[in-house]
Structure 1
Amino acid sequence: MAGEYERDMNYVKTRITADGRDGYPVEPGRYRLVVARACPWANRAVIVRRLLGLEPVLSMGIAGPTHDQRSWRFDLDPGGRDPVLGIERLQEAFLARFPDYAKGITVPAIVDIPSGQVVTNDFPQITLDLSSEWREHHRPGAPDLYPEDLRGEIDEIGDLVFRVNNGVYKTGFARTQGAHEKAFTDLFEALDQLSDRLAGQRYLVGDTITEADVHLFPTLVRFDAVYHGHFKCNRHKITEMPVLRDYTRDLFQTPGFGDTIHFPQIKEHYYVVHRNLNPSGIVPAGPDLSDLLHPHGRDRLGGRPFGNGTPPGPPPESERVPDLV
């Protein structure tokens, strides 16, 4: 349909693996995960790194919430440079490997520290590889986020989850009325299906947190603060959909999820960067997000958040986010 938003899914496919078959073996301290707190796709990698306890072996660079046409910038760091990579913009790591790189400079990205070159920005594969290829370096008690016996179901439900992840963008960035209405309908049909599924089970697949939950949470937690108004996804707020509201509360209050969320940076990114949607650049003062701290009642459905494992410890001091209230 004319005016539909199409996401470019053409990423750098190189993988970091235990056997190093792409030329990049898993090595503690060799790589830097570059993220932005604002980005829901990067948020997945931040959550998985936390849950698996990979902080000691995979450092994390945090870009600021705004960017221009060139790239995400390290404007939160002293001197505006990442303290490990020594660069001002993530673009520099892409150009170091691909001098003529003309595609999007996206987060999450993993950079090879010795060479300063980007290895990959393939966000769907990054989290799967953190779970599988980096297993030797997982913390004791790390959960299995992609168990072999559930992978088929996780992948299947992942298609529905992606309709939500990408659907908010298709709704917000539609360039015609028809494209907006089509995306709007598809988005809320997918949310309704997920709500029906979650009405009778605590997590999306099985009785523990998996990749499926990691994928859905970043969109749901940003929904009321950004997507409902800024992207015109306004049939309902998540707080007006009881099952999804309580599911989001449950995950937000789970170590490794809510402690990765930086709402001021999330709001600044969307409302300042997308001047085509918000020409004034004014960041709204609301909404009140303290609902995320209310009781969720999902315990009645059973479930074991970390399976036979344990919750992660607190994040490193340098990676702490502001308290919600």
Structure 2
Amino acid sequence: MKLQAGKNSVHFTSFGVQLAGDLYLPEGFDPSKKYKAIVGASPFPQVKGQIPAIYGPEMAARGFIYLGFDYLGMGDSPALPGEFKKTRYMFRLIENTWDAVSYLGTLPFVGEIYGLGVCQGGSIIASAAVTDHRIKKIATVSGMMAADAFQWGNKDIVNMMIAGANTSKQKMYETEEADYTWPIVLQDHMTREEFVATGTPMAEDTYNFYGKDGVAGPGKVEHFTCEHIGDQAMQSLISIAEHYADKIAQPTLVIYGKNASTAICSTAFIDKLANEHEVLAFDKFSHVDFYWKPEAVKISTDAVADFFNK
């Protein structure tokens, strides 16, 4: 396959299936040279047309190779045989990331490999890095790093979510059909007013990016839908990175908004780090601002490039 500067469509193997990725190469790319490469892990939907399509070109413009990809069962990547699209367990996301690192390791023009995660992607990258020292440094942006305090704050609500997820899991096992009825998330058809009225935390911020009128919502990003499979809570309520934070050996950069409702996910993680690490906290940016607002993206990608180049 002939690669060129800019975005290149690629595939690599994970769990015996082919995951779809976009490999961003810097201007003047020369396959005879060595480049620093980044595995990018994106927020909750894990589709390459959203955060990787924003951060990939930015990191390539700063001289890096960047790999963004559709995780197992998301976007253009298939589910496992006999399973459903959007079934996504943290353990599989970690293994997908390990395989992405392995894929980059096969490319003769790749030198050191780093990890860059945004939102849940931060937790994925940090979890993968605990035992994958092929990843030499990691950076997280608006990372859901220490998510227990954020996700398990109201045990009554959490237990209701788990009950619904358990029911959905049983239904799917018995019917052998996907159940896309997770009730508490943004739906493709919702207007801003409808979603804000649900009282969902960060509703306005979330809609700005994921809503049908948002920056990267349904219809604007290929193969993206706000639908989530009904047993989602069984998957997303398991947070790994924070419980292994003190085991992370690689130098780590943490970027977050001080006033974001998810700030505790970064600060609690930082408190547990025992490695060499740097922190950049900003008053003026929300959690989702770092996904797409030009000023926030420039600040974060500049900082990540500086950190990875040290």
**TM-score normalised over the length of structure 1:** 0.30
- Which structure would you say has the larger RCO, counting Cα contacts within 8 Å and 6 or more residues apart? 1
TM-score, normalised by the number of residues in structure 2: 0.31
Which protein has the bigger strand share? 2
**More helix by proportion, 1 or 2?**
1
